[in-house]
Amino acid sequence: MGSTEKGVDATNGLTVDISVALKANDPKSVPGLSVEIASAGSSLDDRDYNARQSLLRKARALVTALETPRETMIKHNWAENCPQKVQDIATALEIDPELLSRLMRHISAMGYIKEVGPDEYESTNFSRALTIPIIGDGYPCIMGGCFAAIGHLPAYLKTTNFVMPNSATNGCYQSAYSTKMNFFQYLQAHQPWGTQFNHHMGGYRQGRPAWMDPDFYPVQDRLINGADMAGNAPFLVDIGGNVGHDLAEFLSKHPSTPGRLILQDLPVVIGQIQEGSIDMRIERMEYDFHTEQPVKHARAYYMHSVLHDWPDEVCTSILAQVTAAMKPEYSKLLINENVIPPTQANWQTTGLDMMMLSLFASKERTEVDWRRLLEGAGLKIVKIWGHGEGVESLIECELA
């Protein structure tokens, strides 16, 4: 048996034989998981988000237990490496029919379209959904503007002797794409990735509980009550709010909200908002959150998936611009981000954490991480509002 068919466990120095890769990962757990899945599945209400997530976790655990390491490797490298859209008619796009047949056969085998006969397929909800920009545009954006950095991460970490990356301007992303730009600058400079990313952010949280829902965060009690009711008073400022997805949803669910709703982002992003795509009540404001916050004494400043894009040092600078604008005992800072639990982290969160490591030299944060960062910036956490597994929390803060 050659050296290419053996490995060495770095934790104990023992040789790892190829037979390890040809056996199920954890066959002993299969009977128990099967019973749990059968029990949970028989009474599942698909409207119950947490129950569905719990069942999904068990189902994935069963797949992992049954798969051999070799099968997992093949899945990662051959089956899931490059998802693509499939057009209906090869001749309309001047594609070789034999080539299209091979592509569709594989996509069907993966379950993304349905085979109904030889070279005859039906679309599925998934393939139909790819025609929606906020669903389909994530694929070319992530594949083109992200995956080179993700694949480069092991080699990059080796060059740094596996020291934790912490530079927003000189990290794995810059190394992979040979650029001095940060992730956002690079995507916007290499269209259509920038526009596709904006769409992807719109689809990212579709179907997940929203913080402004009545069973998540009590908007009336915590924000509207006690707010300045003057028409020109700033009520909610969405900092780095992309093209307005969150404010539009907030307004649709709380139409009688007092005061001004202000969307802030870079000029290149604000300029991509199409007329009529968001409510006229939402003010568009070009703003760089590394600079002084121009809107003073708002009832709430809001950041959704902003701070996870930056190392702690940069986050502290961003937060300083917010705290300087806040009114003591009145203003709140609402941070809509993941709070990783001490154990049993959800795969969506850990997967995103690997993206942050590769693209930004940043991270998804634990509660300990959040308290250290926010308290160091002159804020106090009033409460962390959660809504179950894999759902971003809402961290409610005030000036310390």
What's the CA gap between 274 and 362, in Å, rounded? Answer: 31
- Identity of the residue numbered 359: L
CA dist., res. 7 & res. 303, Å (int): 46
199, 200, 308, 387: the active-site residue:
308
Give 312's Cβ-side CA count (13 Å radius): 14
Find all residues with CB under 8 Å of 199, minimum gap 6, and list them.
133, 134, 137, 138, 141
Fill in the DSSP letter of residue 170: S
The active-site residue out of 36, 71, 283, 337 is: 337
DSSP state of 221: I
Give me 290's structure tokens: 């590394």
Catalytic annotation present for 275: no
Is 249 catalytic? The answer is no
Contact 200, 138 (CB under 8 A): yes
Q: Using alpha carbons, select from 240, 194, 205, 202 the residue that is nearest to residue 335.
A: 240
337 given a catalytic annotation: yes
Question: ∠ CA(188), CA(191), CA(194), 5° rounding?
Answer: 45
Out of 199, 254, 304, 364, the active site residue is: 364
Which residues does the annotation mark as catalytic? 308, 337, 364
